[in-house]
Amino acid sequence: MCKYELQIKAENSLGRSDASVITTFTTNEEVPGGPPTDVMAEATSSTSLKIKWKPPAKHLQYGPIKGYYIGYKVANDNSEQFSYKSVESTPNNDGNRFEMSYISNLKRKTYYTIILQAYNSIGAGPRSDEIKVLTLESQPPRSPLVEVVTTSVDSITLRWDINELDSEEKEYVLHFKEEKSVQWSQKRLKTKRNHFVLDSNDGKSIIKCGTKYLLYMTATNSLGTGEPSETISTSTKGTAPISPSRDEFIYPNSTSVALRLSSWQSGGCPINYFTIKYRLSRQEQWIILKDRLSNRYDPFLIYQLSPGHEYDLYVGAHTDAGITEAEYRFTTPNTSLVIKIGSMNPPTSVVSQSTASLSLFHNVTVMLPIVISIVVLIAVLSTLFAFMRRQRLANQSANHLDPRNSIPKSELSSEVFPMNDFVRSTSKPKIFESHSSGPGNDIYGKTTSYYATPNRRNSMTNHQMVLGRHVANSDHEYAEPHTQYAQPRCLFSDENECTNLSTCALMVPNTRL
């Protein structure tokens, strides 16, 4: 069973032609061309033998070895034919490991002849050389048959039968391994009880969740170790993880995507790690993010994506029970989105991103539009508030300038009243006469004061000058305060002339005495 390549060239008197196109072919499988090697046999009891050997040489196998035939008969008895026992080959045996099997129901203290043959799908190969071995005179203990009572995610409870009448002290050895493993593990049981729990509490045995195991037991006493019991198989509880839907697992943003690892169902076995990779759709090259990502990074963020692009995502969840692989397709939106995944607190990121937190608010493309929107909103509200305030002040000013809003005379207090009422309420003083002669220098004149005349009162009826208010009529004589000047007037009513100017006051509009 070999693979060959063939080329043909034609040749005549003029020379050789070019070689033909290479043709590839494989020869058919044949029976093994050689016998098993390193065959050994030893007695394990008065009725059993243990046989060990290695596969035939690699170049003589001519195809995969499927198993072996073990032939045995009583030595030096030409009339007896060989009895054969078929044993399956150990998978992936590269020729450096021994195969092993037992032969039982033999005669006590008897020589036996042993031969072996390897076989494949075509047939059996040549026999090995004959070897002879003698069974023991006495009988080692018979190994009990072990059975499984219960299993859990990390333990196996076993039970076996014992002979209560047998007072001989024995040691039991439990042999176990994972179905896919080659190496057997042993657990010595020095106990008179007939049950045992195989778990990881002793720190030596490691029982995995959702894993299939092979087990058998042997018994040993002073005469030796008996034949092993029949091999049984059992599995611990638990299954491979269950992948979530895309909407439960993937939360895309414009330049990133959040993966909610906690949405994966464990199947009863804890998820050891995740394998994550992604690529742009219709591209062949995958970008590997993490080969062994712990599930404590939840959510897991992938940064540096392009907005509005379609991506393929591969996720593998690994447990002791097996691996579950899932592929998803998602599209990043063109605009930034703020995503809140449940009430999870983002842990520290371990992927290609350089940020220390997994919060989506740390993404500049998310924060920038939010900040700009807030600033614009504040500016618009401030402008609107200022405009409304200015309009209100303008309305108040217009109300002050309206003559109809003047304070009625009946509401005037002692501190706010018309000037003509002030003049009438005072006694008629003696007018201070100027020391200069001539009518032009008379300050007030000898005639009745203008402020005390009834005409003055009538002229002020519609245009009263009130302290603290402006006059709306621009034709009023006080509308231009710098065109007229108040003259000094004595405030005393005695007959003495006002010679000291400090006793005089200027009567001006809107002045409180």
Contacts of 329 (CB under 8 A, 6+ apart): 246, 281, 310, 311, 312, 313
As beta bridge partners, residue 232 has 215
Q: Which pLDDT belongs to residue 142?
A: 78
Task: For residues 199-227, give the mean pLDDT.
Answer: 83
Q: Which pLDDT belongs to residue 359?
A: 43
Rounded CA-CA distance 251/366 in Å is: 14
Q: Which pLDDT belongs to residue 489?
A: 52
Contacts of 438 (CB under 8 A, 6+ apart): none
Rounded CA-CA distance 73/458 in Å is: 158
Rounded CA-CA distance 230/157 in Å is: 17
Alpha-carbon 453 to chain mean position: 97
Task: For residues 318-328, give the mean pLDDT.
Answer: 91
Task: For residues 381-396, give the mean pLDDT.
Answer: 87
Tokens, residue 279: 């690529």
Rounded CA-CA distance 185/180 in Å is: 13
Q: Which residue has the higher pLDDT, 115 or 352?
A: 115
What are the residue ranges of CATH 2.60.40.10 in the chain? 37-134, 146-235, 246-362
Q: Which pLDDT belongs to residue 4?
A: 83
3-state SS track over 68-92: EEEEEEECCCCCCCCEEEEEECCCC
Task: For residues 203-219, give the mean pLDDT.
Answer: 86
Q: Radius of gyration of the chain from Cα atoms?
A: 58
* Residue 329 pLDDT exceeds 90: yes
Q: Which residue has the higher pLDDT, 404 or 247?
A: 247
Per cent of the chain over pLDDT 90 is 32
Burial of 56 (0-12, 13-18, 19+ CB in 10 A): buried
* Topology of domain 37-134, CATH: Immunoglobulin-like (2.60.40)
Maximal C-alpha separation, the chain: 185
Residue 55's pLDDT band (cuts 50, 70, 90): very high
* Residue 221 pLDDT exceeds 60: yes
Domain 246-362: assigned CATH number: 2.60.40.10
As beta bridge partners, residue 116 has 70
Q: Cα torsion for 441, 446, 451, 455, to the nearest 10°? A: -120
Rounded CA-CA distance 181/208 in Å is: 13
Question: What string of DSSP letters covers 414-471?
Answer: TTS--HHHHHHHS--PPPPPPSS-SGGG-SS-SS--GGGSHHHHHHTSSS---TT---
Among candidate residues 420, 445, 441, 419, the one with its CA nearest the CA of residue 431: 445
- Dump pLDDT digits (tens) for 260-309: 998 999 888 989 999 999 999 888 889 988 778 887 778 889 988 999 89
Q: Which pLDDT belongs to residue 428?
A: 47
Residue 94's pLDDT band (cuts 50, 70, 90): confident
* Residue 456 pLDDT exceeds 50: no
As beta bridge partners, residue 367 has none
Alpha-carbon 359 to chain mean position: 10
Question: What string of DSSP letters covers 313-332?
Answer: EEEEEEETTEEEEEEEEEE-
Q: Which pLDDT belongs to residue 512?
A: 43
Contact status, residue 12 vs residue 4, Cβ threshold 8 Å: no
Length in residues, the chain: 513
Q: Which pLDDT belongs to residue 264?
A: 92
Weakest-pLDDT range from 58-67, 335-344, 464-473: 464-473
* Residue 395 pLDDT exceeds 70: yes
Residue 405's pLDDT band (cuts 50, 70, 90): low
Contact status, residue 429 vs residue 491, Cβ threshold 8 Å: yes
- Dump pLDDT digits (tens) for 115-167: 999 999 889 999 999 999 999 887 777 788 889 999 999 899 999 887 655 65
Weakest-pLDDT range from 54-63, 149-158, 195-204, 465-474: 465-474
* Residue 476 pLDDT exceeds 60: no
- Return the CATH architecture of domain 146-235: Sandwich (2.60)
As beta bridge partners, residue 319 has 322
Q: Hey, is 211 helix, strand or coil?
A: coil
Q: Which residue has the higher pLDDT, 507 or 218?
A: 218
Residue with tokens 């002793």: 202
Residue 401's pLDDT band (cuts 50, 70, 90): low
Task: For residues 314-318, give the mean pLDDT.
Answer: 92
Q: Which pLDDT belongs to residue 180?
A: 86
Q: Which residue has the higher pLDDT, 290 or 441?
A: 290
Distances (CA, A) of 502 to 154, 425, 449, 505: 115, 22, 21, 8
Average pLDDT in the chain? 76
Q: Which pLDDT belongs to residue 488?
A: 52
- Dump pLDDT digits (tens) for 179-202: 888 889 998 887 678 888 988 876
Residue 44's pLDDT band (cuts 50, 70, 90): confident
